């Protein structure tokens, strides 16, 4: 074996031992992914279920009683409070209910004449839920009115049949779980790496390594490879858990998944190294990594919030968030199948970002030591 | 009296030392205040579940009055940026696969004929289920738009609902503006992450650098050390909370409808709860790296269970119970209440006591852990 190869091997062995010795790293690679997937699968549910509402029934007539009954039996609402509107509004302020349905005094009289208006008051502090309450309350009322009226409601002249490709049931879990994988890889790639190298700087062991004949490139490779393996391991853990536990479909190939993940890890590792080389302090590195890597990959990657809905300047900011290029490919490889025409441009962007990050790291390290 | 004076003097010395430890590094000073504010502004703009500016595909096989009406209605929608004309089903599949369009409408052959003959007609739409949430929202818009077009074609008024109506009023946020919801929730999110990480690093850093032993042999009581350790994250958190308040009220024009006292009471106990969590992690960690990873392990669930990303109401019962122990969950309720609902003091306090309880538990646990480490 040639000398550089032996040198590199020795460094790789050293770095790998350093990781394996610290139990917290293993915790991060295998326990955190499972916890994250569980939370993403169970807690991040964007599909609204039953909503708690209050009913203020101000009319004792037959129609009012019947309509209140329709709300109680609706699968969309849990009627947890009754009383007058001011009393229910206090509960709306406290957040114990999300909406109020008020059936006014002369409702039954109006209803017998073919009218009848109800009042729906929602908690606008949760806009999505408020829109849901408003439209489903009107739905309950319309169904109730249609069932009571003698003539059937006329069919609309033109309607729309909706189909959702790749995810016919529109299950939000299916697109959130691939997002969780992105978070885990960001965590290991950027955050952990930033911290590890910053520690070497802080303790002065970096200078010690630099005094050895080891080249800067070899040093970076030896630092990066073990974390790359760790990142892939976490990705596999995530994938297996999401397939087994949540039945998320996997329609692409393992090769595509590995290729996409590798490109992202290259980029994330580069970002981590760059943060550590620029900060050289674990404390500062940890803060920057959290702010520059973790939060953007959660909020600016298009994984929960649609990028096109954001203002134009924010859309430009998302272009420098590496996870933005990962999420579409990951969602595709899980839900749709291989589509290299979609993958390759995004993989190219991730590699480009990675190369820039590594370049900055190299330049910064050389200049500082010389 | 003398003992109290000595206690105060030692506390003061410890606080001065800790504040210096945090503020000494100029980069650290910037990091404590700059990024939290940037995040507030950036994420407030990004975090929206509305669907706007999307491209919609159109496969028009009808080419009649009905399709012209639908196209006209689609063009009038503020949520749609561009209508992409598709020439075939293969074209449609490609546009969806490549994510060029979020949804594509298919107007079948003979649609105009059916509408003119007063037969019930139906158009189709295909949406990208990989982005099922946005797709569902967009699908809802499209169904409304197509329905309206149908009514217009028959010359009917836009509202043909069965007799009667619902008069809807959205309290606190009449236009259901998402920003109004996001800003208060972000105060909780950003403050949580910054206070957790500052508190989490404090002891771990000393232990790694070896200065923790010095602290142990110094003539200080444990309580004095802990008060000193708690002060910097508390001060930083309160300063940031004040800045957030100024930005939200002045830059975003969103008033604080509740009381200022309520805002600071909520923030204070929210910070102590987070500091307790952070110090517990810090006491368990041997190195800064472990502390950081531990903080991350705590911060992610705390964040995701808070009801910011997805409503707590939608979670299964077990997670709803766990969420009760999440300080950020209570803080989100408090901030929404204080900013939007003019939450009265009694309700503020009713939502603050869980924060006090979490603070008491976490601070006690971290104290016990430190004590066992000292002996």
pLDDT at B265 over 90: yes
| B158 domain-assigned | no
> Quick one: B139 and B178 in the same domain?
no
Residue A329, chain B, CB below 8 Å: the answer is no
Sheet bearing A99-103, strands edge to edge: A77-82, A51-57, A99-103, A117-123, B165-171
- The residue out of B122, B153, B184 marking a domain boundary is B153
Is a pLDDT exceeding 90 seen at residue B175?
no
In a domain, B109, yes or no: yes
Helices B2-23 and B178-209 cross at an angle (nearest 10°) of: 100
User: Domain check: are B143 and B223 in the same one?
Assistant: no
Give the mean model confidence (pLDDT) for residues A226-241: 89
Task: Choose among A243, A248, A105, A92: nearest CA to A166.
Answer: A248
The reply to whether B216 and B351 lie within a common domain is yes
Is the domain of B136 the same as that of B253? no
Domain count within chain B? 2
CA dist A119 and A139 (Å) reads 13
Residue B192 lies inside a defined structural domain of this protein: yes
Instruction: Assess if residue B48 is contained within a domain.
Output: no
Nearest Cα of chain B lies from the Cα of A323 at a distance, in angstroms, of 15
- Enter the pTM of the model: 0.84
Write down the mean pLDDT value for chain A.
84
Q: With contacts defined as CB-CB under 8 Å, which chain A residues touch B155?
A: none
pLDDT digits (tens, 9 = 90+) for A169-213: 777 778 777 788 888 888 888 888 888 778 888 877 777 777 777
A51–chain B Cβ distance below 8 A for any pair? yes
Q: Is the dihedral of CA B180, A309, B126, B308 positive or negative?
A: negative
A141 and B CB contact within 8 Å: yes
Sequence spans of domains, chain A: 3-44+171-369, 51-148
In this structure, are B93 and B192 located in the same domain? Answer: no
Asked whether A282 and B26 are in contact (CB, 8 A), the reply is no
The answer, for A147 touching chain B at a CB cutoff of 8 Å, is no
Same domain membership, residue B215 and residue B132:
no
Q: Does A28 touch chain B (CB under 8 A)?
A: yes
Q: Any bridge partners for residue A91, and if so which?
A: none
> Which of B43, B129, B177 has the CB atom closest to A164's CB atom?
B129
User: Are A304 and B309 in contact, with CB atoms under 8 Å apart?
Assistant: yes
Interval B110-121 mean pLDDT: 86
CATH, residue B134: 3.40.1710.10
The DSSP line for B153-212 is HTT--S--PSSSEEEEEEES-TT--HHHHHHHHHHHHHHHHHHHHHHHHHHHHHHHHTHH
Task: Give this complex's ipTM.
Answer: 0.81
pLDDT in tens, A32-54: 788 878 887 787 766 666 888 99
Question: pLDDT per residue over B214-260, tens digit each?
Answer: 877 777 788 888 888 888 889 888 998 999 999 999 988 889 999 99
What is A51-148's CATH number?
Answer: 3.40.1710.10
| Residue A4 C-alpha, separation from nearest chain B C-alpha, in angstroms | 30
Residue B115's domain comprises 54-153
Q: Is residue B8 part of a domain?
A: no
Residue range B287-313, pLDDT digits in tens? 888 888 888 888 888 888 888 877 888
For residue B37, being part of any structural domain is answered with no
Do B256 and B315 reside in the same domain of the chain? Answer: yes
Q: Can you tell me the mean pLDDT for B190-213? A: 81
* Lowest-confidence pick of A61-70, B36-45, B347-356: B36-45
Asked if the structure places residue B132 within a domain, the reply is yes
Residue A370: the pLDDT is 43
Task: Note whether B252 and B357 are same-domain residues.
Answer: yes
Give the one of A45, A117, A342 whose C-beta lies nearest to B314's C-beta.
Answer: A45
- Listed by number, the residues of chain A in 269-298 with a beta carbon closer than 8 Å to a beta carbon of chain B are 279, 281-284, 286-288, 290-291, 294-295
Decide if A195 touches B, using CB distance below 8 A: yes
């Amino acid at each position: 074996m040639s000398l550089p190869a032996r040198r590199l091997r020795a460094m790789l062995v050293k770095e790998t031992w350093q990781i394996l010795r610290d139990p917290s790293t293993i915790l991060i690679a295998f326990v955190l992914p499972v916890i994250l997937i569980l939370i993403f699968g169970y807690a991040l549910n964007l599909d609204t279920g039953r909503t708690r509402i209050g009913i203020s029934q101000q009319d004792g007539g037959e129609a009012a009683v019947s309509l209140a009954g329709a709300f109680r039996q609706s699968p969309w609402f849990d009627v947890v409070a009754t009383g007058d509107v001011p009393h229910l509004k206090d509960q709306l302020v406290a957040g114990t209910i999300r909406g109020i349905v008020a059936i006014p005094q002369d409702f039954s009289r109006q209803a017998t004449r073919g009218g009848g208006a109800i009042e729906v008051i929602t908690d606008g502090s949760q806009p999505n839920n408020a829109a849901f309450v408003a439209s489903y309350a009107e739905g309950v009322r319309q169904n109730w009115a249609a069932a009571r009226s003698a003539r059937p409601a006329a069919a609309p002249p033109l309607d729309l049949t909706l189909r959702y490709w790749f995810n016919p049931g529109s299950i939000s879990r299916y697109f959130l779980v691939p997002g969780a994988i992105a978070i885990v890889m960001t965590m290991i790639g950027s955050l952990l790496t930033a911290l590890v190298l910053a520690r070497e700087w802080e303790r002065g062991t970096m200078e010690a390594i630099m005094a050895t004949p080891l080249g800067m490139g070899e040093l970076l490779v030896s630092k990066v490879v073990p974390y790359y393996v760790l990142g892939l391991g976490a990705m596999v853990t995530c994938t297996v858990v999401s397939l087994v536990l949540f039945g998320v479909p996997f329609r692409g190939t393992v090769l595509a998944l590995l290729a996409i993940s590798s490109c992202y890890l290259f980029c994330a590792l580069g970002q981590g190294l760059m943060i550590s080389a620029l900060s050289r302090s674990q404390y500062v590195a940890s803060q920057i990594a959290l702010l520059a890597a973790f939060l953007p990959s959660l909020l600016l990657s298009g994984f929960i919030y649609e990028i096109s809905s954001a203002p134009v300047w924010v859309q430009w900011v998302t272009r420098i968030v590496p996870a933005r290029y990962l999420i579409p490919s990951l969602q595709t490889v899980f839900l749709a199948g291989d589509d290299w025409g979609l993958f390759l441009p995004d993989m190219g962007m991730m590699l480009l970002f990675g190369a820039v990050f590594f370049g900055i790291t190299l330049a910064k390290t050389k200049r500082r030591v010389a | 009296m003398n003992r109290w004076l000595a206690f105060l003097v030692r506390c003061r010395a410890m606080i001065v030392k800790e504040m210096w430890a945090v503020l000494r590094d100029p980069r650290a000073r910037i990091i404590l205040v700059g990024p939290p504010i940037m995040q507030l502004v950036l994420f407030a703009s990004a975090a929206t579940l509305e669907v706007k500016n999307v491209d919609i595909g159109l496969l028009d096989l009808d080419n009649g009055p009905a399709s012209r009406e639908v196209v006209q209605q689609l063009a009038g929608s503020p949520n749609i940026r561009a209508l992409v004309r598709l020439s075939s089903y293969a074209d449609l599949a490609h546009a969806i696969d490549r994510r060029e369009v979020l949804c594509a409408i298919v107007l079948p052959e003979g649609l105009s004929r059916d509408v003119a003959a007063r037969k019930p007609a139906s158009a189709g739409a295909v949406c990208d289920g990989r982005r099922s949430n946005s797709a569902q929202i967009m699908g809802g818009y499209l169904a409304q738009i197509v329905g309206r077009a149908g009514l217009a074609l028959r010359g009917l008024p836009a509202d043909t609902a069965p007799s009667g109506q619902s008069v809807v009023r959205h309290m606190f946020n009449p236009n259901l503006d998402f920003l109004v919801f996001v800003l208060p929730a972000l105060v909780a999110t950003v403050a949580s992450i910054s206070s957790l990480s500052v508190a989490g690093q404090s002891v771990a850093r000393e232990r790694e650098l070896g200065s923790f032993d010095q602290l142990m042999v110094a003539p200080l009581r444990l309580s004095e050390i802990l008060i000193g350790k708690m002060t910097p994250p508390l001060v930083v958190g309160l300063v940031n909370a004040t800045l957030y308040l100024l930005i939200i009220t002045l830059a975003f024009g969103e008033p604080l409808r509740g009381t200022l006292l309520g805002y600071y009471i909520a923030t204070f106990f929210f910070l102590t709860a987070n500091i307790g969590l952070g110090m517990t992690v810090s006491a368990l960690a041997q190195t800064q790296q472990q502390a950081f990873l531990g903080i991350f392990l705590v911060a992610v669930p705390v964040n995701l269970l808070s009801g910011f990303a997805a409503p707590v109401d939608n979670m299964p019962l077990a997670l709803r119970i766990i969420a009760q122990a999440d300080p950020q969950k209570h803080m989100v309720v408090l901030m929404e209440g204080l900013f939007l609902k003019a939450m009265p003091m009694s309700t503020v306090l009713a939502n603050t006591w869980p924060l006090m309880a979490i603070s008491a538990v976490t601070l006690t646990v971290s104290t016990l852990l430190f004590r066992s480490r000292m002996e």
